[in-house]
């Protein structure tokens, strides 16, 4: 039985490992003629995550836009369509929620093993580990 991987979710935080995940997603998308959704989740402190206006610092959002634009160029060079999306909240939770939402029609999640939160990960567990356990879709963790 062939698995159809038409829509791949790739969380990006600008780290080298997240771009390794993107490169793997591009490879998988080329094999299955799929598309990629690059999701960048701006981590915000607890209470601000539920505020209707969010807690977005416009300076940091320019970094997010730069990361998503770099990802689009990288995918386009390999002939893959990439759509970028930026949200604010808790990275692990929001990535898993996005992947599990049926309206997004995600077939697979490809995520880098470690991003920018390595000190926090010692106490709370890594984002990739959280997504691995909470996602209802297949998850490929790239080291």
Instruction: Report all structural domains of the chain as residue ranges with CATH numbers, in order of start.
Output: 7-142 (3.40.50.620)
**What's the chain's average pLDDT?**
85
pLDDT in tens, 47-60: 554 545 554 554 55
Q: Decide if pLDDT at 143 tops 90.
A: no
Residue pair 115/18 in contact (Cβ under 8 Å)? The answer is: yes
Rounded to two decimals, what is the model's pTM?
0.84
């Amino acid at each position: 039985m062939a698995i159809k991987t038409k829509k791949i979710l790739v969380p990006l935080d600008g780290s080298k490992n997240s771009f390794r995940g993107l490169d793997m997603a591009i490879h998988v998308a080329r094999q299955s003629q799929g598309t990629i959704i690059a999701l960048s989740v701006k981590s915000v402190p607890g209470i601000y995550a539920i505020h209707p206006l969010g807690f977005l610092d416009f300076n940091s959002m320019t970094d997010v836009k730069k990361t998503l634009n770099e990802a689009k160029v990288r995918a386009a060079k390999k002939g893959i369509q990439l759509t970028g999306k930026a949200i604010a909240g808790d990275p692990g939770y929001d990535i898993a929620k996005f992947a599990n939402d049926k309206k997004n029609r995600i077939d697979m999640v490809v995520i880098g093993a470690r991003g920018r939160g390595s000190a926090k990960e010692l106490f709370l567990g890594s984002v990739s580990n959280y997504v691995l356990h909470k996602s209802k879709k297949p998850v490929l963790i790239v080291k």
